[in-house]
Amino acid sequence: MSTAGSARSSSRASALTGIALLVAALACFAVLDTTTKFVSLSVPLLMALWFRYAFQAIATTVTVLPRRGWSLLRTAHPKFQCLRGVLLLASSALAFFSLRYMPVGEFTAIVMITPLVITLLAALTLGERVSALRWALVTGGFAGTLIIIRPGGERFDWSMLLPLGLVVTNAWFQILTSRLARTEDPFTMHFYTGWVGMLLASIALPFVWTALDSWTLWASLVLMGLMATVGHFMMILAYARAPVATLTPFLYAQIGFAMIGGWLAFSHVPDDWALLGIALVALCGAAGAWLTVRESRIMIEPTES
């Protein structure tokens, strides 16, 4: 096999590994969201949030620090590591509050407009040129979100706008994760994310702590922490092995996982309008991802002389 062929084969294998890691991470996030909704009915949200980050911080420290030593803390971008932790904490807080009031499937579909919002942010803040087709897809994604939320409808509540704030913080988190994953140690990123989130959440902990007398709630909190820790670590590994353009189309698998989780745990099935909105968000998002892959291939294809 030629050197070029070997390189292409290695790149393809790396991309497939990245896709598999991402899909596994999305399954973890669906379990996390479903469990969060269950926990939010009985446990103060800020207490649950603290437990989620405490689990990640302690688990990462106990399993990795003895092997890596203090080199685990070494990073070329400490400010960005802290910013990434703050963005994820904000995203988690908005997700926890959103899931208290919204079904898991509809919530996940709204969050899935994040790739489209990344396109919008790139145009507004980075001055990147965005084609008319991309603007149409962004508009279609927001239209699908409005169909799910249905402002002015009987089921509308202002709490349903919370996921939109999550979309913004999550978009910046994804951008920062993609950039840092190229040069930073995944374990170091995971370590900082957990400890930044735990330390900030600890500020509110004395005011919200409640004694829990149910082993089911404690088991659910442990499951939340485990799914968040494993899911985010696998996502970091995925971004380190495959480009964003390759992974983005597979993000929409989380909608399917979330709908299954909502059905199994809460017997919830989205109504016809919600299904239409979910389908529109998934269609526009997947089309935007396909367009990104197509454009990237055109850019790297050699021109004929």
Q: How many helices (H) and strands (E) does the chain have?
A: 13, 0
Rounded (10°) CA dihedral 126, 131, 136, 139: 10
For 204-240, the pLDDT digits (tens) are 899 988 888 888 999 999 999 899 889 988 988 888 8
Higher pLDDT, 132 or 304: 132
Any idea which of 60-69, 178-187, 189-198, 225-234 has the lowest mean pLDDT? 178-187
Which region among 8-12, 69-73, 77-81, 282-286 has the lowest average model confidence (pLDDT)? Answer: 8-12
Q: Considering the chain, what is the average pLDDT of its residues?
A: 81
Does position 248 have pLDDT exceeding 50, yes or no? Answer: yes
**How far, in Å, CA of 32 to CA of 30, rounded?**
5
Percent residues over pLDDT 70 in the chain: 84
Read off the pLDDT of each residue in 56-68 and give the average, rounded to a whole number.
88
* Phi, psi of 171, deg, nearest 5: -65, -45
- What pLDDT does residue 299 have? 43
Residue 301 pLDDT > 50:
no
pTM: 0.72
Task: Answer with the residue of higher pLDDT: 8 or 57.
Answer: 57
pLDDT at residue 300 in the model:
42
Farthest-apart Cα atoms in the chain, separation: 74
- At 128, is the pLDDT very low, low, confident or very high (cuts 50, 70, 90)? low
- Grade residue 168 by pLDDT with cuts at 50, 70 and 90: confident
Helices (H), 150-214: 162-180, 186-202, 205-208
> Which residue shows structure tokens 């990104």?
292
Listed ranges 59-63, 197-201, 245-249; the one with the highest mean pLDDT: 197-201
C-alpha span between 278 and 147 (Å, rounded):
8
**Per-residue pLDDT tens for 95-127?**
888 888 888 888 887 887 777 777 677 666 656
State percent of the chain over pLDDT 90.
Answer: 18
Comparing 131 with 31, the larger pLDDT belongs to 31
Query: What pLDDT is stored for residue 50 in this prediction?
Result: 93
Residue extents of the structural domains in the chain = 15-300
Range ranked top by mean pLDDT from 118-127, 197-206, 293-302: 197-206
User: Which tokens hold the place of 113?
Assistant: 């407009």
In angstroms, rounded to a whole number, what is the distance separating the alpha carbons of residues 192 and 53?
Answer: 11
Token code pair at residue 133: 């087709």
The pLDDT of residue 139: 79
Average pLDDT score over residue span 146-168:
74
Give the chain's radius of gyration (CA, Å). 20
- Residue 78 CB coordination number (10 Å): 11
| Residue 279 or residue 120, greater confidence | 279
Q: pLDDT grade, residue 146 (50/70/90)?
A: confident
